[in-house]
Structure formats: structure tokens, C-alpha cells
Chain A
Amino acid sequence: MSAIEQEAGGRGRPPMLALACCVLLVIVAVLGDIATPYAKDFADLSATLAPPFWQDGGSLAHLLGTDTLGRDLLSRLIAGTRISLLTAGAAIFVAGTIGVLLGLLAGYAGGLVDAIVMRAVDAFLALPFILMALALVAALGSGVENMILVMIVTNWARYARLVRSEVLSIKGRDFVTLARIAGLAPHLIAFRHILPNALNSITVLALLDIGRAIILESSLSFLGLGIQPPEVSWGLMLADGKAYMSFAWWITTLPGLTIVATVMAFNALGDWLKLRFDPRAAL
């Protein structure tokens, strides 16, 4: 009867569709411009607002149609994959590293260091992250580098909190005490014995954060405060097509579906890993 038991029973089998999607997306992002049928800015003025190939008026020259300037939608989606995944991936990697180091420090050192780090964590988690992102954009400006910076600032705190609590729960276990008695230096204990034990939860959080970061980036780009032309991102494409929704549905619909599919795939992978590492965690 319980859905949890059912899920836990099936936890050995990874969600193949989601896994395939993630692998495909990473490959597309790595290949980038090499994989696009047209250059992302190439404007085919003889074929503006061409619909996708399966619709009347569409052709195989532009599989997913073109926008108002005749730019190939498939090529732009592929180019956008690179920007969206690159900003999200780079930001989560750096934010995770900073958070993990601070979390290890706070959990292991305790005392005043712990108090300072944790108050900072609280303050950074006290604002809705889109509001903090907007405030940062207002100060720093937009663009790819600033997008990555904004995501680092809005994301590191959760890693610090997670790693600190892992450290506190592992610190008292016998193998850590034995390592300390054996005279191992504190930083070696932290990196060789404590970090590997916390790695599972960090990986899960990072996978789930990829989706969150992609949505944040596309939201900011949609508001005109994120990625700026001539760079291209999924959110930016969506904003471009907004005015033509009533007669060119594909310009807004296809990038949106791409975002949904990408985020669902990374979330599904994260959820599966979480359940695999800890069958009791149903969430």
C-alpha cells in the first residue's frame, strides 16, 4: 500500500529516462556550437517565423522553426543549453566547494567560528533567493559572469548548513575518535574520514540545485536582468517570443518545455540518489 515502500523497493533501478536526458544535455552543452545546424545568430530573413517542420508551412531546413529574425530555433536551443548548464554547473560547483569548506570548519572548530559562520548562513537564508538575486543584479549588473556570481552567493549557505550537521553527527563516531587517538591531524580527519561520509548528501543537494539554478537563471533572463544578447539562454528566448505568442507558439513553448524537461530530469536523478543513499528519506 505505501508508496514509500514501493519506491524503496524499486530503488535499485535508476530512472533511465531522466539519466538519458541528463547525459544528452551534458553532451549537447559540451559540443555547443559544433552541434548546431546554423550559427546561433544567423538570421535567415527569407524564412522568418517559420513553424516547426510538422506544421503547415514548416520545412526540414528549420526543424523547430525560426523566430522573428529568421534565426533557427533548434540552433539557439542548443547554444542556450551550453549557457544554462554552464552557468548552473559552474555556480553550484563553486558554491558547493565554499559551503563545504565553511561547513567543515564550523562543525569541526565549533565555538566562536561556528557561531559566526552559522549567523552568516542564517542571514543568507533569510531572504527569498530571487529577491537576493535581484538585489545583487541591481548592484553588479547582468551578464554570464555576474549570473554565476549571483548563484554562488545565493547557494553556498545550504551546503555549509548541511555539511556542518553531517560533521556534528559523524564527529562522535568511533572511527573518528580512533583516528584522533592515533594522532591524525584535524584537517586529515576532516578530509579523509568526515568528508567522504558527507559526500552522498552533498551530491544529492547539488543535483537538486542544478534545477533550481536553471530556473533562477531563466527567470532573471526573462525579466531582462540575466543573460544579455548576443549570448542566448532559454529564458531569454522565451522573453523574445512573448510578444508573438498568439501566432508563433513555438518561440515560447519549445524553450519552456526544454526547461521543464531538464529540471525534471535533474530532480528525478537527485530524488533517486537520495532514496538510494537513505531509503528512509521519502522526500
Chain B
Amino acid sequence: MVKRLGQTLVTLLFLTLMVFALARLTGDPTPLVLPTEATAQDAQFFRHQYGLDRSLPVQYLIFLGNVSRGDFGVSFRYREPAIGFVMAGLGPTLRLTGLAMLLAVVVGLGLGILAAVSRNVWIDRLVNLYASFGQAVPSFWLGLMLVTLFSINLPWLPSSGHGTAGHYVLPVITLSVFASASITRLTRANMAEAMQSDFVHMERVLGLPEASIVLRHALRNASLPIVTYLGLQFGLLLGGAIVTERVFAWPGLGQIIVDAILHRDYPVIQATVLVTAVMFMLINLAVDVTCMVLDPRLRV
């Protein structure tokens, strides 16, 4: 456990270095920020004010110190603290991602178990088709198609924005499809294997009800790789949310980072990347802990 935490810290340190290097790779931001009529003295003053005239290692240490206090500097574009933008976008993104994850788990587990226990070849084939399609469809295109269908041709749901419950339906479905397809495949494979195992045959012989065999015994045995996978999927969903938010004008981190990149607003880019990465790492840590709870053999 201590080793696991140590690895997480090393990775985190490496990430801060990477994020710092990315912004410096592009060179001096001074000409981007100052108006064209600024004099050389103005530029000098700006560079001094932001510490850009120090050596790179010193700049990195200052950056690290500031970041650890949640200070990512001031947005070049809006002259407000960058961390404020991230905090404003965090809520909408987490709500979108969380609901999409929930839907993906329900659909994925449901379809996966159905395909694994069903004796009907056609159900298995249909589920398989859904899984292959879901893993191949780009979320932004699926989003556009859903908008065409349910907002333009059939005016049932809002196509963009945020606020009412109706605004959640299309973005959540769009974002969840890839994850639910992946979870379906994994569940189907692991459940099919668990259903073949000796303890399931034994329970059948003992006459346990089929529902109890499937849901209480086989599922518990198949759950470990699935839980591990869910953490990975949550990270992919956080990434996928960036694109989905763009399609539906959802006011989350995705909108903020894409706008920041288009306007080269580096403090905001750095803040968004690091906060998302930290969230992703915390989730993976939580997954590892959950696995230890589920499987006593992992508690070393």
C-alpha cells in the first residue's frame, strides 16, 4: 500500500514536470499577452513580474510551490486566477461523467450478463454487434446524430446547453456508449468463464435458484477484473467528456480546455490538465483499494 502511494507521488511529480515543460516548449508567452504597442520596457517588466527571466530549474521550483498551494497563475485572457475556471467547470464535468458512468455500468453489466447466460445465439450476436459498434463510433459523431434525430427531426430534447434534466439526456447517452460497449464485452467474457466453473456446476447440482447462482456467486467471481476496468473506463470517460462537451456546449472542463488551447491561455491549460490528471490518479487509487476489499489475497 505504501509502495503504491509512493508510485503515485512519483508519477504526480513527473506530470508536473511534463505540464511545466509543455508550456515552456512553446517559448516566451510575452508577445501573446502584451498588446502590439507595448515597448521593450513593458515586455521586460512583464517578464520580471511573471518570473520568466529566471533560470528554468528555478522557474520549475516556483511553479511547483505555487501549484501545491492551488495557484496556477492568472488567465492570460481574462486576468482572473486560472484555478477558478477549473473549479467552475469541475462540477458540470463530474456530473456528466458520473451519470454516464452509472448508465454505462447498468447497460454494460446488464447486456454482458444477458449474453453470457442466454442460450439464445441471436441475443449473443446482437449484444456482440452493440459492443463492436459502441467501441468504433466516435462520440462526437454519435452526439451529432442523436441531436439530428431527437432535437431537429423529433423536437423532444434540447440540443445544447445545461440546466434542466432534459439537457442531460443526450450528452449522458453519447458519453456512455463507448464505456458501456467495453464493459459489456468484459462482463460477457468473465461471466461466461465463471458460469463454466466447478462451483457453478456444484450449485446447480445442489439445486440453488439460477438467479442466485448468476447474480450472487458467478458475478462476484467475475467482478474483480470488471472493477479494475471501471477505473480505467472512468479515466477514458473524463477524456471523452472533453469532446462530448464540445458537441453539446456543456459548460465543463472540456469547453474550458479547448477554448484555452485555441487562445493559447497556458495557465488555464496547465490547471485543467493537472486537476484532471490528479482526479484520474485518485480514482485509480480508489479502484486498487476496492480490489483489496473484494479480494483478500491482494492485501499484502
- A interface, CB within 8 angstroms of B: 1-4, 6, 119-120, 122-123, 126-131, 134-140, 211, 215, 218-219, 222-225, 235, 238, 242, 245-246, 249, 252-253, 255-256, 259-261, 263-264, 267-268, 282-283
Contact = CB atoms under 8 A, between A and B. Distances in A.
Interface string B118-159: 010100100010001101111111001101100010000000
Interface stretch (B11-19, B30-38, B41-49, B53-61): B11-19
B186 interface: yes
Contacts of B115: 3
Contacts of A263: 135-137
Contacts of A131: 238-239, 242, 257, 273, 276-277
9 contacts: A4-B193, A130-B243, A131-B277, A138-B26, A138-B261, A225-B262, A242-B144, A259-B138, A263-B135
Most buried by B among A1, A134, A267: A134
Most buried by A among B25, B138, B140: B138
Interface residues of B, number: 61
Contact of B136 (A122, A123, A238, A267): A267
A159 to B, nearest CB: 18
B189 A283 contact: yes
Nearest to B125: A3
A245 B152 contact: yes
A283 B25 CA distance: 40
Interface string B184-223: 0110110011011000000000000000000000000000
Contacts of B148: 245-246, 249, 252
Contacts of A225: 258, 261-262
B196 A2 contact: yes
Contact of B22 (A126, A136, A252): A136
A219 B261 contact: no
A126 B260 CA distance: 22
Nearest to B188: A3
B206 to A, nearest CB: 20
Interface of B: 7, 10-11, 14-15, 18-19, 22-23, 25-26, 115-116, 119, 121, 124, 128, 132-133, 135-141, 144-145, 147-148, 152, 185-186, 188-189, 192-193, 195-196, 235-236, 238-240, 242-243, 246, 257-258, 260-262, 264, 266, 269, 273, 276-277, 280-281, 284
Contacts of A218: 138, 140
A216 to B, nearest CB: 9
Q: 3 tightest A-B contacts by CB?
A: A128-B239, A256-B141, A263-B136
B56 to A, nearest CB: 15
Task: Identify whether the interface residues of A are mostly helix, strand, loop, or mixed.
Answer: helix
B174 to A, nearest CB: 13
A153 to B, nearest CB: 10
A185 B225 CA distance: 39
A126 B15 contact: yes
Given A130-B239, A131-B273, A260-B133, A222 B140 contact: yes
A119 B257 CA distance: 27
Nearest to A127: B277
Contacts of B10: 119
A123 B18 contact: yes
Contacts of A245: 144, 147-148, 152
Given A126-B15, A138-B22, A225-B258, A219 B133 contact: no
B9 to A, nearest CB: 11
Nearest to A280: B193
Given A215-B136, A215-B138, A222-B138, 4 more contacts: A126-B15, A235-B140, A242-B144, A260-B141
Nearest to A7: B128
Contacts of B192: 2-4, 282
Contacts of B239: 128-131
A139 B266 CA distance: 9
A130 B139 CA distance: 13
Given A128-B235, A219-B243, A245-B152, A264 B196 contact: no
B25 A139 contact: yes
B140 A134 contact: no
Contacts of B264: 138
A123 B11 CA distance: 5
A55 to B, nearest CB: 16
Contacts of A1: 119
A259 B144 CA distance: 14
A123 B257 CA distance: 21
A140 B185 contact: no
B193 A134 contact: no
Contacts of A260: 133, 136-138, 141
A230 B115 CA distance: 46
Given A119-B11, A218-B138, A235-B138, A256 B261 contact: no
Contacts of B26: 138-139
B208 to A, nearest CB: 18
Contacts of B121: 6
A76 B18 CA distance: 37
A225 B259 CA distance: 11
Contacts of A256: 137-138, 141, 144-145
